[in-house]
Structure 1
Amino acid sequence: MGYTRRRCQLPMGTLAVMGALHLTAGPGALPALRTALDSVGRSDDAVLWFPDTLSCGPLLPPGTATRVQWWDQWPDDDEPNDDRLEEVSVPGGSPAFWKRVEAADPLVLWYDSNDTAESLFFHVLCDKAPDNVPIDVAALHGPVGSRSADELAGHLDTLHRMTAAERAAVRRTWQRLEQENATFRILRDGHLMSAPADHYDTALLDAASSEWTLIIRIVAPVMAATDVGHGILLWRVKSLVDSGALLADGDPWLWQDTNVKRVQPQHP
């Protein structure tokens, strides 16, 4: 899951929640999840996806304005293309989104426990959901969006109801990350950790060489190997150009047209 500014879109007239609310970290899993719920007689259950990617950007000060300001720096590749859909959330989650969470009974979280952004989605929902909202969890190994409706339906019988102690432990992790307020958050050996702004710079420099190379060819392998979208990596490429670690023959933001190369060390 790369970093892009994402908008939560819901069919018109679906703001009221009655009963279970199933949440995913992104929109890809929603069609199969909706089919899975319908197939087992749970058509009244609602489905929704979380409108932010928390693997990067500031978490403090709290509130949607901090997250919106961060994402407004990057191109928005996810403009709505269906006039039947209503934009109801923004990065960080609008009041409408959190009202749905507060009304859920239970809240069902579907996420890939091996994915940084999805693990963060799980943690923030456990932290922000009111204590009186029961939380059921489907922690999968692999992308939720790649599962068929039949596979997802099979997990409905094995959902785990989180205990108060489990929720408290997850909250502690999220609140630590929130207080650290780093540029990036990564998953290492199954544990969420904060990482500085230059965390991916070494990988970008390793992908570059002393020969002029299109930025897209430097960014692409780093995107493939990490949980990072092109906008964030272009920002880091520009930072490396500004610092003198890379030379550019044009605007670094124009990644399909501009070449960069590593600066050769000067020998006395």
Structure 2
Amino acid sequence: MTCAIETVHVAYGISRADAIRDALRMEGCTERVVALPATLSHGPIDPPDPDTRQAWVRTVLRCAPDDDWREPEEPWAEATTADVYPVYWVCLTDAGEHACFLEFAFRMAVRPFDIVDATGLDFVTRDGVRSPWSLGLMRPEDIVTSGLRERRRPYSEAEAHAASATWARLRAENAPLRIVRDGCLVSAPLTHFDAALVAQGRPEWEIVAGLIGRALHHLSFEVDPPGQCVGDVVLFGRVLALGAEGALDVRGAGPGMRDYEVRLPAIRPHPDRIPG
């Protein structure tokens, strides 16, 4: 007797997976949802070894992640084992989601799976028409009312080959950052977000978390196209680096972003000397 293949829904990040699970339950679907933990839009990806990536955060970004930051390998095995048929949920305008999806497609090695792609999705809510650039912006009720599940389709073999080739190229480049540009995931230098951090600085002292919060909001909602977001761990590391370079004044004993203060220096560096 042939065993039935289990359908498993897959997404980047715990919060997104939780929202998808809740939305499926609202529609009477009890299928399992797996959250992939790796934020592959920053750090080394050749190979995407958890220990190497954690060491990169500690040495290159010069800030200590939480002890539980290490990205486990087990969810990847759950999502790509031959015993399941994956349904991958993604919005490709989010760099973190895009990178995680490409790694998933690479690991599937052209084995068949389905995709639920929210890229370019428009739907009506009580607040008007929404066009989320990330699944992280969608509540379970948004996922249901938008009919997102109805966009499920098989991911073609040609698409799988193209995704694998893109990720193989990005792996070979092994850049410190990856960003979305013109709908594609591309490599970027570590200094890519530095100018945005300095532009959000204030002349008075404030905790670093305040500056990072404004920079995240600016990159997520105020640039064109929106969604040029990055993790706070990366921005925290860059604030410390900009402090060492004199582009920002930084003081404090650390180790966390609430243990440091930051301000614009009294004598601003010339804009051409700010990395980014």
Match of 2:17 in 1: 30
Q: Deviations over 1:5-58 (max 9, x none)?
A: xxxxxxxxxxxx951110011222334433444465643x32111111111111
Do structure 1's residue 144 and structure 2's residue 132 form an aligned pair?
A: no
Do structure 1's residue 56 and structure 2's residue 10 form an aligned pair?
A: no
Q: 1:5-24, aligned counterparts within 5 Å?
A: 18-24=5-11
Of 136, 159, 165, the match for 1:172: 165
Do structure 1's residue 258 and structure 2's residue 261 form an aligned pair?
A: yes
Q: Distance in 1 between matches of 2:231 and 2:150?
A: 35
- Give how far 1:230 is off: 2.6
The two structures, once aligned, show a CA RMSD in angstroms of: 3.1
Is the contact made by 2:248 and 2:262 (CA closer than 8 Å) also made in structure 1? Answer: no
Q: Distance in 2 between matches of 1:255 and 1:34?
A: 32
Give the secondary-structure state (helix, strand or coil) at the position aligned to 2:243: helix
Q: How many residues align?
A: 238
Unaligned runs of 5+ in 2: 122-131, 220-228, 270-276
- Give how far 1:151 is off: 3.5
Cα–Cα, structure 1 residues 232 and 264, in superposed 2: closer, same or farther, change >3 Å?
same
Is the contact made by 2:200 and 2:214 (CA closer than 8 Å) also made in structure 1? Answer: yes
Q: 1:181-200, aligned counterparts within 5 Å?
A: 181-200=174-193
Cα–Cα, structure 1 residues 33 and 149, in superposed 2: closer, same or farther, change >3 Å?
farther
Match of 1:83 in 2: none
Cα–Cα, structure 1 residues 104 and 28, in superposed 2: closer, same or farther, change >3 Å?
farther
Q: 2:66 corresponds to which letter in structure 1?
A: D
Do structure 1's residue 120 and structure 2's residue 99 form an aligned pair?
A: yes
Is the contact made by 1:21 and 1:104 (CA closer than 8 Å) also made in structure 2? Answer: no
Q: 1:95-134, aligned counterparts within 5 Å?
A: 95=74, 97-132=76-111, 134=112
- Give how far 1:212 is off: 3.9
- Give how far 1:252 is off: 6.4
Is the contact made by 2:95 and 2:180 (CA closer than 8 Å) also made in structure 1? Answer: yes
Instruction: Provide the identity percentage.
Output: 30
TM-score (norm 2): 0.73
- Give how far 1:99 is off: 4.8
Cα–Cα, structure 1 residues 31 and 196, in superposed 2: closer, same or farther, change >3 Å?
closer
Q: 1:79-98, aligned counterparts within 5 Å?
A: 90-91=70-71, 93-95=72-74, 97-98=76-77
Q: 2:143 corresponds to which letter in structure 1?
A: E
Q: Deviations over 1:48-85 (max 9, x none)?
A: 11111111111124433323433565432978xxxxxx
- Give how far 1:105 is off: 3.9
Moved more, 193-202 or 138-147: 138-147
- Give how far 1:152 is off: 4.0
- Give how far 1:135 is off: 1.3
Unaligned runs of 5+ in 1: 1-16, 80-89
Cα–Cα, structure 1 residues 77 and 188, in superposed 2: closer, same or farther, change >3 Å?
farther
Is the contact made by 2:143 and 2:149 (CA closer than 8 Å) also made in structure 1? Answer: no
Q: Distance in 1 between matches of 2:24 and 2:251?
A: 53
Q: 1:192 corresponds to which letter in structure 2?
A: L
Is the contact made by 1:20 and 1:104 (CA closer than 8 Å) also made in structure 2? Answer: no
Match of 2:33 in 1: 47
